[in-house]
Structure 1
């Protein structure tokens, strides 16, 4: 009689799963995650509402995403093979996020651990609970309530102590802005003080505002007409010196113009409102896998023809300049990199370099992608469309590799290695590559059997030739560099430890010429068993010199 055998499962053991099967949340679980988070993104400090009513009809719109803390399928971030299907789909394995922040935690190389995401969820749910039966205010409503309290500013000013921090600077500035707005209530005024200069940012407070702008002697302004075209077509800023313009029809502008005209330093800046957006930089492989590099702020303006995006990532290393026409026929994308943005920094503290180095592994056949969140949509640009795509990626990978080798050396140096000068040298690159490999440990190689080296040696009294004969221990030859190597790296000189090479299982022959019996010679040969080990001498150290004159001088060996 045939009987079916079943394999008993140990306690806590997950059942076998179909390869690559996704265990997505049930719709009821998605709803519970959203409700427990209070319909708000759980990313710290985000607090974006993720669902609401559409402007037209009876539909709703949403930007919320139910994310897995431990991935829903193999290969995803924080995947746990021991989880069961029910555990992956359970409420406890989820966190509610907005679209922007969901991409950060769902990237293949997400830096956020399971513990961090669980802490976020706990904090978000606690905040959601604390807001029950509480009133909800927008930022503008809060600002209006605060402004009513400026009547107490004078009392604070008169009664302030000798402590300068008690001076109500913010309230004074707000009073100045309010006074200017009273000259013409049709406008809102914001005043910024930067480097001793006052910037008056004036925007219309009403839909219809009539002014008269008088421009004169514009032909004397270099590139004015090109700048004017960019203003209308793209919303780019256009600057006109005070001597070339006048604004009539507003007491506010009359007062500002009279003051700036007397000093001769006023500048009229016109442009479409510059709005900030969240942008993400990724490296994407041909298979679609993404590695997050940076999240940064991107600004955009829009004109009659196209919308323009500008921003910088990784502390200014990458600069993004993109545009797209309103009819969708023309899209431009320019992503440049410049190491000068990191000048003066310790090369071990370069912004986001670790993520950049990991992402560079995908650039062989992959591409860089910039995604800009615009409302509920995403504007996506990538380097694949560039005619110099391969050359661009090759140069970027070489630069990253150069820096990565230099950072490995810097980790062992006696002093910080600072990025003082942007200078790349192919010979230094080869040296850094060699040292980076040796820093990870001795390098063992082999060679074809044959002659290795030979030469004369000095024979001292008391030395017996029989001492060269085999004693049962394989002969070992150690060769060490006599001098250290010093090279320039980003504006400072680096002295490396000496390199030594150890040959094992070598054979030798001793002889002397008939006409020079007093000068014995030796020749060394490698065999099929010979191994060659190259390593850094342990007693030497890495040294950093700020004085580059040492590059032309022999240095004493360090120990």
Structure 2
């Protein structure tokens, strides 16, 4: 006696038909004729979403279902034998709800196939390949600008690579122009002959001579030359008769080291690789270090003994990173200590070329102040944020590159208070404090008015300050500090609102000391 609640033949046919004869999971065709054509060849099965019977081996059995519910079309899904077996083997993952969703998605897909001619995978592959080549040839030839190249670039790259597998090919498009970058693979040394036309010969010779001297790219119309030894060029010339060919000189990687130099000494920021290109007369050095924080380009004319140098700096690689995940953080924090000891500095780069060390810039002392300032300011802000983060309960991230001089100054001052609780001597003439005399405590105001010696002044900031360091809005604790042995200067103002008041400025002298302290040593991240 059959205790299973199996589907009727009519229900099985309905599951097969509405699934469009496709497996609802992998979408292979499940039913068709045998090779001889006289038998049915089926790999499909009407599978139960919730098991047809209880007991060992039953999958997803629901005791709350009635017999009619188990045998109903809604409890069935059309699958191939392989997917049916796989689903039952992973019963926990493929629960009833997942199978119902799978069935619904497949029925929606199958509804789009009505009236559409289907192709086997090998037919699809051949059709796509032929379409890619045809469309791209049309675009890159006389039909340029009429089709969307982005849809066919990858296929056409594969087509060109198949012509000669010794080369890498990369295609890009900008402003309706198509660019093909063709590079010999590592370890392959190409042997290429260039045959110019009579009209192009003298121009090409001149350009090659310039390449030898300066390393400048050779730009020449493709219709004026033929290539022997690289079929890819000939293919491109055939499909792009009006194209321009650019031959670039090879760039050499050279070991380099970046330094900060000042009257206080030299500090190494680390090693990196520069790129050298050029020729016998002009050489071009370029590179980036510290994950892009430092960039340079140095061009030297050996014949005229002239050089030009450009520097750049960006913190783009910091944005979105947790502070402790920033590359070279320990080195940058050490660089801050070096920069704090000097008011002026410059970048220098040393490149190893064979057995020779080239120092860049050689004889060039003027470096752009805005780049030096940007570099120094961001090193300082990074140091301050790192110090503050030690007192915060959470890890901070670099959210925004916006920091103002004022925010760094506030942070710097607060950190000074936090890190130097002991009395410290200041430079004579430093402005310590200013106020209206009548706003000070009366005994202190009298002492200042009488210019008494050995005075002591205690000041407490009555409000919290905040600073934005790379998108981290940080609140600083209130601070207090005391000055001893200072020079008061009394004055009046010509301003109409202040002319009735006496003001006092307090300056440090040779004997002034200052003691710092914080009311609460905790910084807060707002």
- TM-score band w.r.t. shorter chain: 0.3 to 0.5
Task: Please say which structure displays the higher CA radius of gyration.
Answer: 2
Q: TM-score normalised to the size of structure 2?
A: 0.46
